[in-house]
C-alpha cells in the first residue's frame, strides 16, 4: 500500500458544459432511506441553481401517495415541502415533482417497490449523462437489466447503494455489478450522514471514490453542499469495501456495550477491526492506498457506526434481552436484515476459501457470535488474545 497523493487530476471547468442531464433512482424501503433521497435532492437542486452551465430545473420523481388528504406531489410542487418524510425543510423552488419524461435538466426519481411503469424511467435515463443509484442492493440487477442498452454509452453511474451481491468469489461490489451490466464507469459515494443534518447545513462529509479522474470535478460539483464536504479519491474499491466491513465492527461494539465493557475495550476492538479491514482489502482487493482508510469513508465512518448505528443498537439489545438477532430484526427493523451479520458471513466464507481465517480473529469471532456458535463474552477474551504481529 502507498499513501494517497494529495492531488487528484483536475478536470477543466468547461467540461461541465457537457453534463446537463442527471437521473437519480431512490428506493422507498424505509422512512430513513426516503428522507435521505429528499435531502440529496435538495443539495443537487441548490447546486443546479448555482452552476451556470447546468439546467436550473430539477425534477423529482416520487410515488404519488396520499398524505393528510393531499397528493404528495401537489404538496411538493405547491408548497415545496415533502410533508410526509421531511416536513420541516423548505425545498428549493427549482425542485419540482415530475413524470420524468424530461430532457436537458436534472432528474431525481423516488422509486417505490410497487407497480411503477419502467417506461418512464427508461425514457428519462436514455438522456442522462449521470445516473445515480440509491436503491436496495437486491434490486440492482433488475434495474440494470431494465436500463441495459437504453442509456448513453458515455454516461457515468454513481452508486449510493448499501450492501453487496453474493458471488462465486464471495462478494461482488455494487459498482462492479453496475459496470458489468451497463458497460459504463461507476463511482461510489459513501458517508454516514443524517438527512436532518445535511438539510440543516450542519457539517457532514462524504468520500467519492471515482476511478476516472476526468470526472472528479463534475461529480464533486453536483454533490457538495454549503456544509457537505466531498473528498474525491481514485481508490473506489477501497471506499466501497470499507463501507461494508464497518458494519461488522459496529455489531461488535454493540456486543461490548451490552456486556457493559469499558471504553478501553471498545477502543481496542475498533483499532483491531481497522487493522483487519486493511488486511482484508489488501488480500482480496489489492492495490488500495493506505491514505484511503483515513478518509471519511474509512476511519471516520468506522467510528461513527461504532457509536451510533442500528447494527450497534441491535447487537446491544441482543445481549440485554432474550431475543435472537432474527427476532430483533423482525421487531425493530420490520424484517429488514442487518448488514453486520450478513457481511460477517460472506467475509468468513471468503476467509475460509482462502485459508486465512486464523489471521482475522475479530471478524471470525463476531461471525461465530452471529451464528450462535460462540458466546458474546468470548469476544472480550478474543480482543485480549489478538497477536502482537497484527
> Which CA distances in Å does 276 have to 174, 258, 283, 335, 386?
22, 23, 11, 30, 11
Q: In terms of C-beta density within 10 A (0-12 exposed, 13-18 middle, 19 or more buried), how is residue 293 classed?
A: buried
Check the annotation: does 104 bind a ligand: no
- Active-site hit among 42, 84, 224, 246: 246
Rounded Cα–Cα distance for residues 18 and 41 (Å)? 21
For 129, the grid coordinates are 449523462
Rounded Cα–Cα distance for residues 329 and 192 (Å)? 21
Beta strand pairing call for 186-190 and 204-209: antiparallel
What is the three-state SS of 269-282?
HHHHHHHHHHHHHH
For 347, the grid coordinates are 467475509
CB 127 within 8 A of CB 104: yes
Rounded Cα–Cα distance for residues 88 and 125 (Å)? 31
Rounded Cα–Cα distance for residues 89 and 200 (Å)? 8
* Biggest alpha carbon–alpha carbon distance for the chain: 63
Whether 202 sits among the annotated catalytic residues: the reply is no
Q: Is 69 left (phi over 0), alpha (psi -120 to 50) or beta?
A: left
N residues, the chain: 390
Rounded Cα–Cα distance for residues 69 and 253 (Å)? 44
Question: Is 305 strand, coil or helix?
Answer: helix
Question: Is 33 strand, coil or helix?
Answer: helix
Check the annotation: does 337 bind a ligand: yes
Check the annotation: does 311 bind a ligand: yes
Rounded Cα–Cα distance for residues 226 and 203 (Å)? 9
Rounded Cα–Cα distance for residues 355 and 241 (Å)? 20
Check the annotation: does 310 bind a ligand: yes
Tell me the binding residues: 162, 195, 310-311, 337
Tell me the binding residues for substrate: 162, 310-311
Tell me the binding residues for NAD(+): 195, 310, 337
Could you give the residue numbers annotated as active site? 246
Amino acid at each position: 500500500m502507498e499513501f494517497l497523493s494529495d492531488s487528484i487530476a483536475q478536470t477543466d471547468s468547461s467540461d461541465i458544459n457537457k453534463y446537463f442531464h442527471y437521473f437519480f433512482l431512490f428506493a422507498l424501503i424505509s422512512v430513513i432511506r426516503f428522507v435521505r433521497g429528499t435531502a440529496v435532492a435538495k443539495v443537487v437542486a441548490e447546486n443546479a441553481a448555482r452552476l451556470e452551465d447546468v439546467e436550473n430545473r430539477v425534477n423529482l420523481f416520487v410515488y404519488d401517495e396520499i398524505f393528510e388528504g393531499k397528493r404528495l406531489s401537489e404538496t411538493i410542487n405547491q408548497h415545496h415541502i415533502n410533508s410526509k418524510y421531511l416536513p420541516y425543510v423548505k425545498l428549493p423552488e427549482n425542485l419540482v415533482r415530475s413524470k420524468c419524461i424530461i430532457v436537458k435538466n436534472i432528474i431525481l426519481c423516488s422509486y417505490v417497490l410497487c407497480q411503477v411503469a419502467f417506461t418512464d424511467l427508461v425514457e428519462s435515463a436514455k438522456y442522462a449523462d449521470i445516473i445515480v443509484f440509491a436503491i436496495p442492493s437486491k434490486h440492482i440487477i433488475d434495474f440494470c437489466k431494465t436500463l441495459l442498452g437504453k442509456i448513453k454509452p458515455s454516461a457515468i453511474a454513481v452508486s449510493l447503494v448499501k450492501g453487496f451481491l453474493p458471488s462465486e468469489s464471495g462478494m461482488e461490489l455494487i459498482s462492479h455489478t453496475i459496470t458489468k451490466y451497463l458497460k459504463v464507469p461507476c463511482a461510489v459515494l459513501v458517508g454516514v450522514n443524517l438527512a436532518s443534518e445535511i438539510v440543516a447545513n450542519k457539517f457532514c462529509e462524504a468520500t467519492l471514490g471515482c476511478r476516472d479522474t476526468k470526472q472528479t470535478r463534475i461529480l464533486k460539483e453536483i454533490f457538495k453542499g454549503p456544509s457537505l464536504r466531498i473528498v474525491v479519491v481514485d481508490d473506489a474499491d477501497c471506499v466501497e469495501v470499507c463501507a461494508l466491513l464497518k458494519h461488522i465492527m459496529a455489531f461488535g461494539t454493540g456486543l461490548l456495550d451490552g456486556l457493559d465493557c469499558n471504553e478501553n475495550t471498545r477502543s481496542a476492538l475498533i483499532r483491531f477491526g481497522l487493522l483487519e479491514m486493511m488486511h482484508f482489502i489488501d488480500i482480496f482487493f489489492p492495490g488500495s492506498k493506505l491514505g484511503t482508510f483515513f478518509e471519511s469513508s474509512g476511519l471516520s465512518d468506522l467510528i461513527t457506526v461504532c457509536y451510533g448505528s442500528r447494527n450497534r443498537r441491535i447487537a446491544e439489545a441482543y445481549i440485554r434481552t432474550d431475543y435472537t438477532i432474527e427476532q430483533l430484526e423482525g421487531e425493530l427493523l420490520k424484517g429488514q436484515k442487518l448488514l453486520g451479520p450478513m457481511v460477517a458471513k460472506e467475509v468468513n466464507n471468503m476467509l475460509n476459501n482462502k485459508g486465512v481465517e486464523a489471521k482475522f480473529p475479530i471478524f471470525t469471532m463476531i461471525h461465530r457470535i452471529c451464528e450462535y456458535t460462540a458466546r458474546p463474552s468470548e469476544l472480550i477474551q478474543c480482543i485480549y488474545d489478538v497477536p502482537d504481529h497484527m
